[in-house]
Amino acid sequence: MIIPQGSYERDGIEGLTLGHSPGKPRRLTEQQEQTLADTVSTKRPVDVGIEAKYTWTLKLAMLFVEREFGETYTKKGMSVLLHRLGFSHTKATYTMELADPAEQETFRSETFPAQNKS
């Protein structure tokens, strides 16, 4: 009977070194990751057919990837992917200089009064 040698028996103390684990293979190709990065950085969710008002969220990015590439991610997984692509979490802020005057008038004349009634 042959007993397989373990790392220690074969290589001594060096055999116990853990080394680097490459981890799970990526689910998206480099081209798909680039498409995701380009989309999130240059378009609003509504521009790519996802119903949302203004900004990307992890959940919306997950929907985009599932729809476009057929891959599902958890929020944590999407956060790691986007971070690896150079994105960071920021709180959405509104800049008045970018505001659309027509939308502001609609808000003042229709939306705001309707909210005050309820």
CA torsion through residues 51, 97, 82, 76, sign: negative
Model confidence over 17-68: pLDDT tens digits?
777 777 788 999 999 999 999 999 999 999 999 988 778 999 999 999 999 9
Going by the DSSP 8-state scheme, the letter that residue 85 receives in this structure is T
**How far is Cα of residue 50 from the mean position of the Cα atoms in its chain?**
14
Which residue is it, tokens 């929020």?
75
Proportion of the chain above pLDDT 70, given as a percent: 88
CA torsion, ordered 36, 41, 46, 48, to nearest 10 deg? -30
pLDDT in tens, 68-106: 999 999 999 999 999 999 998 877 666 666 778 888 888
Does pLDDT of 16 surpass 60? yes
Question: Strand runs (DSSP E) across the chain, as ranges?
Answer: none
